Chain A
Amino acid sequence: MTMPFYVSPEQVMQDKAEYARKGVSRGKSSVTLEYDSGVLLMAENPSSLSKIGEIYDRIAFAGVGKFSEFDQLRKLGVRYADTRGYAYSRDDVRAKALANAYSQAMGEVFTREMKPLEVEVIVAEVGDDTLAGHESNAIYRVQFDGSISDHEGFCVIGGAAEELGSLLRSDYRPGLPLKEALQLGYRALQRAAAGEPNVTSDNLEVCLLERNRVGRKFRRLSTDTLRELLGT
C-alpha cells in the first residue's frame, strides 16, 4: 500500500481558494446599487438563464460564477424564505438571516468537499417605510468560502469586482435617481467587458426592488424599458 503524500491544511485551503477564485473570475460581473427609491441589481447576461432572481417580498438574489451552483443556491433561498414566511409572518423573512444561512452552507462545502463552489452571491433587501426598524436597505455579499460582508450603497461581485468597485467608489453617491444609478452600473459593467464586444441593453439583465411597490417589490425590467432608460 502506498501512503498518500502529506499536504498541509494551509496548502489544501489555499489550493481550493485559488481554484474557486479562478472559477468565479471566469464569469461576468454583477453590480448591485441602492438608488433613491429602492435597490437595483444588474448583470451582463447574454443568455436567457437568469442570474438575478426574486427570493421574497423585499429580497432579491444575484449570483456569478457557475450557473448550476448559484441557481441551486437561489432555489434554496426561495425554499428557506417561503417556509419561514409561512411558519412565522411575511415580515419575519429578512436578508440578514438568509445571508447567514448562505454563509453557513457555502462555508460547509468549502471545508468538507473536494471541490469548492465557484460562485459568489449577493442578497439584497429593500427597506419598508411603513415598518419601524425595517426602513433601511441591506446588501450582503457571500463568497465561495462562506465569508460574508455587508455593503452600503453598492456592491460588485464576479471576475472584475476590484476594478468595478474602484470606479463605483469614485462615482457613486447616495440618493441617485433610478436612471442615473442604472447608467452608472451600465458604465461599470462596460468597463469590465473592455476589449470584448460591448454590453448593450440586449445582453443586460436588470431587476429592481422598488420601495414604493405594494407586496412583492421585485420587478424585472424589459429590454424596451431598459433601452428607454439607458437611451441606447
Chain B
Amino acid sequence: MPISFGGRYRGSSFTGLLASEDEQLLPDWGQLCQAGLDPDRVPHGTTVLAFKFCDGVIVAGDRLATEGHRVASRDIEKVLATDGYSLVAIAGAAGPALEMARLMRIELEHYEKIEGESLELDGKANRLSQMIRANLPAAMQGLVVVPLFAGYDRRRRQGRLWKFDVTGGRYEETDYEATGSGGLYARESMKKYHDPAASRDAGLRCAIQALSDAADEDRATGGVDLERGIYPVVNFCTAEGIDRAADAEIDRIYREILAARRRPSGGVRR
C-alpha cells in the first residue's frame, strides 16, 4: 500500500486496529491476575439495572464502588453512554469494566467514522459480547466484568436491553434486568413495580425504588446518599437520544418513597 502512516490494518474495528498496530495499548487483565493480583483488592461496582418504559429504555445504577468490605468510591459513574442511542451499565471489577466501556465507546465511534454509518443495535451488543469474551482469562481469575447493554433501536423503534455472562454469552431481555451484588434485590423490586408502558415519571420512580431496595438488603450498594447529596445515575434512552434525570428530580421522588415507607418506630422493643 503506497499511502501509510506505517500501519497495515484495513478494517473498521478499533480494537482490531490496536491488536494489529499497537498491541501494547490493549489492556490485558488476564496477565495481571497471573501476576498474583487479588481480585478483592480492586474496586468493584455494585448494582446496575435496565428496563423498558413507554418511550424506550431506562438504565440506572448506584454510585458506590467497594474494595472487599471497604468503600472505594462513593460517586463512581457506572452507567455510561457508548454513543447517542446506547448505554452500557457496568458491574464487577471497576477498572476493567470502565476500560471496556471506554473501548466500546471508541469502537462504536470508530466504526461510524470509518464506515460512514453506525452499527445496528444488535451489532453493538454483539461487539460488546466479543469484548467480554476477550476478558475471559481475567474473569476466570476473579476479575469478572458483567455489564448490561441497552439502547434505543431506531430501526425497530423500541428500547432493547441485554445481559451478558462471563463467557460473552448474550441474552436479550424482554422487560427488565439487573446485575451486580444487589442485582437480585433490584430484580425482585422491579418484578413488582415494573410496567413496560410506564411514563417517564413512573419509570424513574421504579428505578429509584429498585435501587433503594437493593441498597437496603445489600451492604455494598449505595442507594441515595442524602447526607452527601450523591444520587444514583438514571438515564432515559429514547428516539430523541439519551437524557439523564436531574438530581433534584431524584431527590423529590426518593423523599416521597421514604415518606410512604416510614414507620412511627422501628425495631423490636425489649
- B-binding residues in A (CB < 8 A): 50, 53-55, 69, 72-73, 75-76, 78-80, 82-83, 85-87, 101, 104-106, 109, 112-113, 115, 117, 216
Contacts and interface: CB of A to CB of B under 8 A. Distances in A.
A54 B113 contact: yes
B106 interface: yes
B110 A78 contact: yes
A106 B7 contact: no
A87 B14 contact: no
A76 B3 contact: yes
Interface in B98-125: 102-103, 106, 109-110, 113-114, 116
Given A50-B116, A53-B113, A78-B110, A86 B18 contact: yes
Contacts of A113: 2
Contact of B5 (A80, A87, A216): A80
B85 to A, nearest CB: 14
A145 B59 CA distance: 51
A115 B113 CA distance: 28
A115 B3 CA distance: 11
Contacts of A117: 2-3
Interface string B58-101: 00000000000000000000000000000000000000000000
Q: Which 10 residue pairs are nearest across A and B when measured between Cβ atoms?
A: A78-B113, A109-B2, A82-B110, A113-B2, A54-B113, A72-B3, A76-B5, A101-B5, A87-B25, A75-B114
Contact of A55 (B3, B25, B113): B113
B3 A109 contact: yes
Contacts of A50: 116
9 contacts: A76-B7, A78-B113, A79-B9, A82-B14, A83-B25, A85-B106, A86-B106, A109-B3, A112-B2
A19 B102 CA distance: 45
B114 A83 contact: no
A24 to B, nearest CB: 15
Interface residues of B, number: 20
Given A53-B116, A83-B18, A86-B25, 5 more contacts: A79-B9, A82-B106, A87-B25, A101-B5, A105-B3
A101 B103 CA distance: 24
Contact of B114 (A78, A86, A109, A216): A78
A86 B114 CA distance: 16
B22 interface: yes
B3 A73 contact: yes
A113 B4 CA distance: 12
B253 interface: no
A226 to B, nearest CB: 18
A79 B17 CA distance: 8
Contacts of B5: 76, 79-80, 101, 104-105
Contacts of B4: 76, 105
> In this complex, which of B2, B4, B18, B106 has the most chain A Cβ atoms within 10 angstroms of its Cβ?
B2
B201 interface: no
Nearest to A117: B3
B173 interface: no
A82 B116 contact: no
> In this complex, which of A73, A86, A109 has the most chain B Cβ atoms within 10 angstroms of its Cβ?
A86
B95 to A, nearest CB: 16
Nearest to A114: B2
B3 A82 contact: no
B17 A82 contact: yes
Nearest to B7: A79
Interface in B1-51: 2-5, 7, 9, 14, 17-18, 21-22, 25
Nearest to B14: A82
A187 to B, nearest CB: 28
B119 to A, nearest CB: 15
Given A83-B25, A86-B25, A86-B106, A106 B3 contact: yes
A113 B113 CA distance: 28
Contacts of A109: 2-3
B247 to A, nearest CB: 19
Contacts of B21: 79, 83
A57 to B, nearest CB: 10
Contacts of A79: 5, 7, 9, 17, 21, 110, 114
B21 to A, nearest CB: 7
